[in-house]
Amino acid sequence: MLIDTHCHFNHKKLADEIPACIARAHAADVAQMIVVGYDAASSAEAVALAEQYAPHVFAVVGVHPHDSKDWSEETAQRLREWANHPRVVAIGEIGLDFHYDFSPRDLQNAAFRAQMKIAQEVGLPVVIHCREAYPETLEILAEETVQMLGGVMHCWAGTVEEAQQTIDLGMHLGIGGTVTFKNAENVRASAKIAPLDRLLVETDAPYLAPMPHRGQRNEPAYTRLVADYLAALRGIPYAELAATTTANALRLFAKL
């Protein structure tokens, strides 16, 4: 059994066929899916979907760095309220994105730290988005004592050295379809050196479909392709990879 630890049924590219996506996921041995918010509206939708499609779907709520410019105390209070929901398993996706800089970096930093503090308040792990900002993200995670929370660096793309720093902080690496991409040597190298109990599998659907579907719309069923590839990369049976990554997810996201 697999768990897709990061997908976006709250995206318009998937919204019209969620039951069919869930059925295909189950046929591919993907039993549960975690729908991740990226602003207040998508977080509310993630919670609603988790209710509608229980027991297969859970939710994560938070404000993405792209939307940090819209961070407010009102949103902070909504996160605190959603955190009490039995199907909300983490705060996220939060972090830093210095590739696009859709929000100024000082506002990204402020929203990131504020949401780390909320996660501490409510006792939930964190789902981290990081793009071209690994040193800064790791510094904030350390300063905000992520070791007390646990979390995952979603869509891992850092170096082996950064992977080791992340693991030393007690976090997991979220491995998705990029591990199958020809130019993703950093992802493969990190996935090889990480302890097996620090790996999670994900899709980030509808984005970043694995080979041979690269460039097409992604969906949770393709978690199986990621898991098969990762098992071969590690030189272990699929059953071992599936059992361990599922156990990792259940341990990190205690409400699953």
Q: What's 63's DSSP letter? A: -
Look at residue 225 and give its three-state secondary structure.
helix
CA–CA dist 254, 146 (Å, integer): 16
- Per the structure, the count of domains in the chain is 1
CA distance 202 to 218: 11
Q: Could you report the per-residue pLDDT of 132-145, keeping only the tens digit for each?
A: 999 999 999 999 99
> What share of the chain has pLDDT > 70, as a percent?
100
Average pLDDT, stretch 54-68? 98
- Output phi, psi for 119, to 5 deg: -60, -40
The CA distances from residue 2 to 13, 113, 139, 171, in Å, are 23, 31, 31, 19
Where helices occur in the chain by DSSP H, the ranges are: 12-15, 18-27, 40-52, 73-83, 105-122, 134-143, 160-168, 185-193, 223-234, 238-252
Model pLDDT, residue 115: 98
What is the pLDDT, as a whole number, of residue 1?
A: 97
Q: Place 238 in a pLDDT band, splitting at 50, 70 and 90.
A: very high
Residues 34-43 have pLDDT tens digits of 999 999 999 9
Look up the CATH number of the domain holding residue 122: 3.20.20.140
pLDDT given for residue 223 in this prediction = 98
**Alpha carbon distance 210, 177 (integer Å):** 4
Contacts of 77 (CB under 8 A, 6+ apart): none
Report the alpha-carbon distance of residue 49 to residue 32 in Å, rounded.
Answer: 13
pLDDT tens figures, 81-104: 999 999 999 999 999 999 999 999
Task: Report the largest interatomic distance among the alpha carbons of the chain, rounded to a whole angstrom.
Answer: 48
Range of the domain at 14: 2-252
Which pair of structure tokens corresponds to residue 68?
């940090």
Site of tokens 């295909």: 24
37: left (phi over 0), alpha (psi -120 to 50) or beta: beta
